[in-house]
């Protein structure tokens, strides 16, 4: 399966992803291809809508303290729902669909999430720290929300200006 990253301002990123009903080999192929794409792109999280599949599928691979990114840390979530949330935290987020831009975003500190794994087995996970932030970021993708949608009006304006400038530079350097 060949995948490409959908980048802002592509309208497909605003789509609401649909619940997965079939836990078949096609879903497994999508998950495997998403993992390859995420690692190749130096990402720690990826939602299916970011590779053009508006399905409630996301993967996470948070690095360890010693900076490695072991596959043991891979979490695959199908049809996730946040069932508990508490506290507040701020983190400078980025996104593979909004390349080269990072900005502070407020999130819940701790969450509990129910989801299904690739074999449709129901799971519950409690998360804090970077994993909690990453899950919230990826679940937002399933609702068509990007981290830049959560910025204040003035920071969003600053983003639009800077992003357009960088996109223009990228275009010129390709010519």
Rule CB under 5 A: say whether 95 interacts with Co ion. yes
* Residue 45 is a binding residue for ligand QAP (CB under 6 A): yes
Phi, psi of 107 (to 5 degrees): -140, 170
Name the residue with the smallest CB distance to ligand QAP. 43
In whole angstroms, what is the distance from residue 93 CA to residue 18 CA? 25
**Among the residue ranges 17-25, 75-83, 116-124, 131-139, the one whose residues contact ligand QAP (CB under 6 A):** 131-139
Lay out the site mask for ligand QAP across 96-115 (x = CB under 6 A, - = otherwise).
x--xx---------------
> Binding of Co ion at residue 58 (CB under 5 A)?
no
Selected catalytic residue, list 76, 88, 138, 162: 138
Half-sphere exposure of residue 84: CA atoms within 13 angstroms, side-chain side:
9
Judged by beta carbon, residue 113 or residue 134, the one nearer ligand QAP is 134
Smallest distance from ligand QAP to CB 57, Å: 15
Q: What are phi and psi of 171, to 5 degrees?
A: -60, -45
CB 69 within 8 A of CB 38: no
Residue 138 annotated as catalytic: yes
Strand ranges (DSSP E) for the chain? 45-47, 57-61, 74-86, 89-93, 103-107, 110-116, 122-127
| 60 binding Co ion? (CB under 5 A) | no
- Residue 51 interacts, among Co ion, ligand QAP, none and using kind-specific CB cut-offs from 5 to 8 Å, with none
Q: How many CB atoms lie within 10 A of CB 1?
A: 13
Taking the C-alpha atoms of residue 148 and residue 43, their distance in angstroms, rounded to an integer, is 17
The number of beta carbons lying within 10 Å of the beta carbon of residue 151 is 17
Q: Which residues bind ligand QAP (CB under 6 A)?
A: 41-45, 91, 93-96, 99-100, 130, 133-134, 137
Q: Which residues bind Co ion (CB under 5 A)?
A: 95
């Amino acid at each position: 399966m060949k995948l490409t990253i959908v980048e802002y301002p592509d309208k497909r990123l605003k789509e609401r992803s649909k619940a997965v009903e079939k836990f078949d080999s096609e879903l497994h192929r999508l998950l495997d291809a998403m993992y390859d794409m995420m690692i190749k792109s130096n990402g720690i999280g990826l939602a299916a809508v970011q590779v053009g599949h508006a399905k409630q599928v996301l993967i996470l691979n948070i690095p360890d303290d010693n900076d490695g990114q072991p596959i043991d840390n891979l979490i695959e979530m199908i049809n996730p729902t946040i069932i508990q949330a508490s506290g507040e935290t701020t983190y400078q987020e980025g996104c593979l669909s909004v390349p080269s831009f990072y900005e502070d975003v407020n999130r819940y500190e701790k969450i509990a999430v129910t989801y299904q794994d690739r074999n449709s087995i129901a799971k519950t996970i409690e998360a804090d720290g970077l994993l909690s932030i990453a899950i919230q970021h990826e679940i937002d993708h399933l609702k068509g929300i990007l981290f830049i949608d959560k910025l204040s009006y003035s920071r969003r304006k600053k983003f639009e200006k800077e992003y357009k400038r960088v996109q223009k530079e990228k275009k010129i350097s390709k010519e």
